[in-house]
């Protein structure tokens, strides 16, 4: 009997479905369950790694810049918590540590701990040049600025405040918008008018101050604090997840509307208070693969001309919602610097 042409495609599809179902039914139920759980843990793990990347990258920078003295004191940031490290020479093509540094700027870097109290940033009057202090939470988002464009050229004292603090500031101290996390990275930039102007900027840098609120108005000097924990060693295949969990427990994500996302991540052992070691082997295997995929996932989303985003606020991926865009930008920008692109406040 000749099968009409119009019947052939439906018949072939039916046969294919029947064969597929017979193959699936031949796989033990336990194996199907494992395959489903591993796929779920993997796909959710890729999302969790992209979202949580700042909590793996910034703890590494904090540990390195606070506790690991460089062989060349001028070669990179190194200072206790709540104190500045100042670059004393201009960057050049010989500097290969990353971050795309300017060659007309001297940097001032500090890691600040707000878990117990605010820290006050003091700056002198700087009428003759551009300067800015950019403050970033542990989630890598900028939350406040002090500088020429944001606060003007006059001298000032500005309180950097943590997410849970409530109290009264001393007279004359201006409160900045609060950080979303207890730990904050400050990146200061002061313009230099050529190599002959470097010494003048040194004098300005020496007047930048960080003072814990409890020491404000006293002659006491803050303790030399370097008590930050080291990220987990890379010899551990789950190291990135362990570092992320510990950093999120110390600096919880604090964005309204993301609670359901964090609850999803918790089902695979990722997030504040979570223990990835407590998950089963299937989740471990999926997590290791997801970490590798997540760390390179930003490349798939970058479009030509990404460096031309205005103030780092645009990514031409219409199919991705704004929350995903911010998470992807975190990974992408971290490849050239520790925080998101600067905005108009700088």
- pLDDT at residue number 278: 83
301: domain range? 37-57+230-334
Q: What is the pLDDT of residues 220-275, one digit of tens each?
A: 888 899 999 999 998 988 889 999 999 999 999 998 899 999 999 998 889 999 99
Mean pLDDT computed over 45-70: 92
Closest CA to 290 of 240, 345, 253, 217: 240
The CATH number of residue 179's host domain is 2.60.40.1610
Handedness of CA 213, 218, 222, 223 (dihedral sign): negative
Residue 148 shares a structural domain with residue 244: no
More confident residue, 278 or 211: 211
pLDDT bracket for residue 173 (50, 70, 90): very high
Q: How many domains does the structure of the chain reveal?
A: 2
Strand order in the sheet with 131-137: 85-86, 105-113, 183-191, 131-137, 142-147
pLDDT bracket for residue 314 (50, 70, 90): very low
Residue 269 contacts residue 241 (beta carbons within 8 Å): yes
Residue 172 shares a structural domain with residue 239: no
pLDDT over 90 percentage in the chain: 52
The CATH number of residue 329's host domain is 1.10.3360
Q: What is the pLDDT of residues 115-137, one digit of tens each?
A: 999 999 999 999 999 999 999 99
DSSP category for residue 84: -
Residues 6+ apart with CB under 8 A from 29: none
Residue 91 shares a structural domain with residue 204: yes
Residue 203 shares a structural domain with residue 246: no
Residue 101 shares a structural domain with residue 125: yes
DSSP category for residue 231: P
Q: What is the pLDDT of residues 28-40, one digit of tens each?
A: 555 455 577 778 7
Mean pLDDT computed over 33-49: 77
Residue 52 shares a structural domain with residue 98: no
Residue 187 shares a structural domain with residue 244: no
* Angle value at C-alpha 105, between 99 and 111, nearest 5 degrees: 55
Residue 7 lies in a domain: no
User: What global pTM score does this model have?
Assistant: 0.78
Q: How far is CA 269 from the centre of its chain?
A: 20
More confident residue, 247 or 100: 247
């Amino acid at each position: 009997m000749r099968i009409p042409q119009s019947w052939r495609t439906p018949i072939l599809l039916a046969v294919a479905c029947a064969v597929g179902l017979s193959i699936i039914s031949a796989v033990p139920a336990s194996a199907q369950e494992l395959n489903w759980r591993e796929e779920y843990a993997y796909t959710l793990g890729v999302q969790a790694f992209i979202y949580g990347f700042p909590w793996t990258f910034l703890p590494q920078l904090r540990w390195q810049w606070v506790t690991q003295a460089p062989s060349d004191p001028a070669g990179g940031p190194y200072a206790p918590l709540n104190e500045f490290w100042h670059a004393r020479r201009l960057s050049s093509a010989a500097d290969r540590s990353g971050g795309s540094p300017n060659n007309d700027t001297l940097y001032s870097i500090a890691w600040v701990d707000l878990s117990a109290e605010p820290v006050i940033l003091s700056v002198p009057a700087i009428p003759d040049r551009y300067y800015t202090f950019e403050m970033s939470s542990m989630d890598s988002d900028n939350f406040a600025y002090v500088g020429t464009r944001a606060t003007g050229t006059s001298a000032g004292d500005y309180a950097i405040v943590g997410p849970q603090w409530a109290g009264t500031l001393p007279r004359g101290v201006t409160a900045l918008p609060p950080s979303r996390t207890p730990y904050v990275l400050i990146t200061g930039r002061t313009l230099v008018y050529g190599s002959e102007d470097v010494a003048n900027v040194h004098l300005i840098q020496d007047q930048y101050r960080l003072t814990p609120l409890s020491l404000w108005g006293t002659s006491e000097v803050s303790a030399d604090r370097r008590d930050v924990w080291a990220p987990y060693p890379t010899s551990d295949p789950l190291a990135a997840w362990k570092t992320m969990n510990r950093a999120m427990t110390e600096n919880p994500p604090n964005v309204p509307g993301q609670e359901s996302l964090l609850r999803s991540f918790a089902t695979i052992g990722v997030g504040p208070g979570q223990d990835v070691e407590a998950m089963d082997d299937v989740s471990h295997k999926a997590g290791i693969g997801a970490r590798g995929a997540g760390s390179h996932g930003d490349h798939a989303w970058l479009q030509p001309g990404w460096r031309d985003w205005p103030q780092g606020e645009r990514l031409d991926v219409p199919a991705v919602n704004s929350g995903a865009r911010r998470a992807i930008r975190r990974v992408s920008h971290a490849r050239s610097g520790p925080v998101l692109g600067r905005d108009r406040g700088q």
